[in-house]
Amino acid sequence: MPIPESTRANRAGAARRQSLASPSRTFGRWQLDEPLGRGRLGCVYAARPCGTGNATPASYAVKVLRDEWQGEATLVGLLAREALVGSEVCSPHLVSVLEARVHEAPQFLVMPRLDGTTLQSQLSEGYRPTVCEALWIARQTAEALDSLHQTGWLHGDVKPGNLMVSPEGHVTLIDLGFARRPVEFGSVIDRPLLGTVHYLAPEQITSTSVDIRADIYSLGATLLEMLTGHVPYQADDLMELARRQRANDVIDLQKVGPNIPPPVRDLIGAMISRHPLRRHQTPRELVDRLVPLEITSLAAA
């Protein structure tokens, strides 16, 4: 008796879902190992080249769209953008993409496996960096932004959840799906929002004219959170954030960070200004300001 087409499709879908969840699955020339993380949109697995044997360290990471999102145009577009930027821009502080398959299911990316955890995970577990440590993290992130800027990109989603910090303190900026050329960056309303909105620069909400200074704002918000546990504007959603930003209802830096050295407080204030012209204009300018502050804080530690 022939199997109905709908039954065959259901069985094929179930088999594909099972295979995606199985660590034994091979993706192209990559053998998956244990899962490294699972999000709402994708899963990341440790991986090694096929045929090298289990004794070979799984020193690569394969990022796969979850089954329910395979083929979804917007999310495949984010994966494709990440593949493009990760293969085009080279920096020791920016994740690189070694291989990608985005034009047919299952869509995936291959990247070097990174040691450590996200800054967000560390902050959630109670870690509070010293001034020296926070400046070190910020300066490394600014180096990654400089590499993006030098090749005509901005990251578009700088936040603690996108900063991987190794046990030795090395920082890698990850998740390049929202990277854009300034000329093609629309309002944040035109893109899918994932997670918190607290790190968005005002112009990302209200304007279609966005450049690298929006990333500098987001890094400033991250630096502020590292040192105080607070973000620039307290808001539960995008509309409330936009209202507070328009009213300039920004957090009082001196009140929440009385122990932060005044030069560092001034730096953060400039980075999170709601006016892009009052911020550092390029990541290189920011790096040049961060380096002496980092040295001074190290000497004082």
**Residue 100 domain flag:** yes
pLDDT in the model for residue 195: 55
Total Cβ atoms within 10 A of residue 223: 26
Residue 280 and residue 137 share a domain: yes
Is the bond preceding 106 in cis, omega lying within 30 degrees of 0? yes
User: Average pLDDT, whole number, for the chain?
Assistant: 86
104 and 139 in a single domain? The answer is no
Domain C-terminal end among 60, 78, 112: 112
Specify the number of domains making up the chain. 2
- Do 59 and 159 lie in a common domain? no
Q: How far apart are the first and last CA of the chain?
A: 78
Is 157 a catalytic site residue? yes
Residues making up the chain, counted from first to last: 301
Any domain includes 93: yes
Domain final position from 112, 127, 142: 112
Q: Write down the pTM of the prediction.
A: 0.87
Query: Of these residues, 157, 175, 211, 215, which one is catalytic?
Result: 157
Tens of pLDDT, residue by residue over 179-210, are: 999 877 555 545 555 557 889 999 988 777 89
Q: Are residues 243 and 266 in the same domain?
A: yes
Q: What are phi and psi of 284, to 5 degrees?
A: -65, -40
Q: Would you state the torsion angle of the CA atoms of residues 202, 207, 211, 213, taken in this order, to the nearest 10 degrees?
A: -20
99 with 144, same domain: the answer is no
> Does some domain include residue 243?
yes
Same domain, 98 and 163: no
Give yes or no: residues 228 and 290 share one domain: yes
Nearest CA to 106 out of 25, 176, 49, 24 is that of 25
Residues 86 and 150 in one domain: no
Give me the domain span that covers residue 107.
19-112
CA distance 200 to 244: 12
CATH classification of the domain holding 250:
1.10.510.10
Q: Are the C-beta atoms of residues 70 and 83 closer than 8 Å to each other?
A: no
For 225-281, what is each residue's pLDDT tens digit? 999 999 998 887 788 888 888 888 788 898 998 999 999 999 999 999 999 999 999
Same domain, 188 and 228: yes
**CA 170 – CA 166 distance, rounded (Å):** 5
Residues 82 and 121 in one domain: no
Tokens of residue 183, six digits = 């000329």
Query: Domain check: are 97 and 137 in the same one?
Result: no
Confidence of residue 154 (pLDDT cuts 50, 70, 90): very high
d(CA 40, CA 202): 26
Three-state DSSP class for 231? coil
Strands (DSSP E) along the chain, which ranges?
Answer: 26-27, 30-38, 42-49, 60-65, 99-101, 108-112, 117-118, 163-165, 171-173
- pLDDT greater than 60 at residue 6: no
Select from 112, 144, 177 the last residue of a domain.
112
Which of these ranges, 48-62, 66-80, 93-107, 184-198, has the smallest mean pLDDT? Answer: 184-198
Please tell me whether residues 71 and 213 are part of one structural domain.
no
Residue 76: give its domain's CATH number.
3.30.200.20
54 pLDDT band (50/70/90 cuts)?
confident
Does residue 138 lie within any of the structural domains? yes
The model's pLDDT over 270-296, given as tens digits with 9 standing for 90+, comes to: 999 999 999 999 999 999 999 999 999
Q: Collapsing DSSP states into helix, strand and coil, what is residue 60?
A: strand
